[in-house]
């Protein structure tokens, strides 16, 4: 699994909108969307202690992008 930065860059390059928002309770709101609909799918992930769940966020974004945008440049590049 690539690093979170790589997933975000590849999603951006494929014109797939993604977002990460920190929450007051130590969690993170993570979402994927498009220009017309904003967030299509989202989840909230909690951090363990002081460590952010970067790998879990990257995996979630990757999996959802493949599922929701199967014809995208992102999916074509990652389904070889």
Residues β-bridged to residue 21: 29
pTM confidence score: 0.88
If pLDDT is split at 50, 70 and 90, which confidence band does 73 have? very high
Mean pLDDT of 33-51: 83
pLDDT for the residue 56:
92
Q: Roughly what angle, to the nearest 10 degrees, separates helices 4-13 and 54-68?
A: 30
The structure tokens listed for 42 are 């989202």
- Which domains does the chain carry? 4-71 (3.30.160)
Measured from the Cβ of residue 47, the count of other Cβ atoms closer than 10 Å reads: 16
- Residue 43 · residue 57 · CB < 8 Å: no
Residue 50, pLDDT score: 81
């Amino acid at each position: 699994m690539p690093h979170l930065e790589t997933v975000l860059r590849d999603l951006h390059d494929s014109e797939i909108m993604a977002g990460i928002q920190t929450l007051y309770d130590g969690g993170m709101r993570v979402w994927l969307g498009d220009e017309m609909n904003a967030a299509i799918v989202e989840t909230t992930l909690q951090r363990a202690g002081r460590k952010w769940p970067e790998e879990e966020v990257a995996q979630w974004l990757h999996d959802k992008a493949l599922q929701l945008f199967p014809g995208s440049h992102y999916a074509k590049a990652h389904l070889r």
